[in-house]
Amino acid sequence: MCISADDSKRMKRKQLNLTSVFEDTQKKQIMKLSISDKYDNTNKIEELRNAIGYVYSDNHSGTYNSKLLSVSECGNIAYTEEVKSDISNFKPKVGIKSQPSWLVWNAMFS
């Protein structure tokens, strides 16, 4: 069976697309604390749960400060709310925000 140059290029593109989808999926999965805790023998989820109620510096908040309200049962989602800041004149947005728990953990403990 002969494969034309165009067919060969299409096959390579398809293979590259599948590879990038697989790699993106792996990156997204490894960022979940429920998975990373198993790999690095840490308990970041429990650290977050012990920090509920604390205010931390949050670059993703309009006031640059957020308060950790809760952590999902699986540990992959953290619920936060913006709080008033001494370094910003912005008013906190009302409402609860859900964020990946790894992002909140990094802001609080890194």
- pLDDT tens per residue, range 45-71: 999 999 999 999 998 888 999 999 999
For residue 94, the 8-state DSSP code is P
19-46 average pLDDT score: 67
pTM higher than the cut 0.75: no
C-beta atoms surrounding 58 within 10 Å: 23
Tens of pLDDT, residue by residue over 74-94, are 999 999 999 998 888 889 999
Q: What is the pLDDT of residue 35?
A: 77
Q: What whole-number distance in Å separates Cα of residue 44 and Cα of residue 30?
A: 13
Mean pLDDT of the chain: 80
Burial (0-12, 13-18, 19+ Cβ within 10 Å), 11: exposed
Q: Which residues contact 14 (CB under 8 A, 6 or more apart)?
A: none
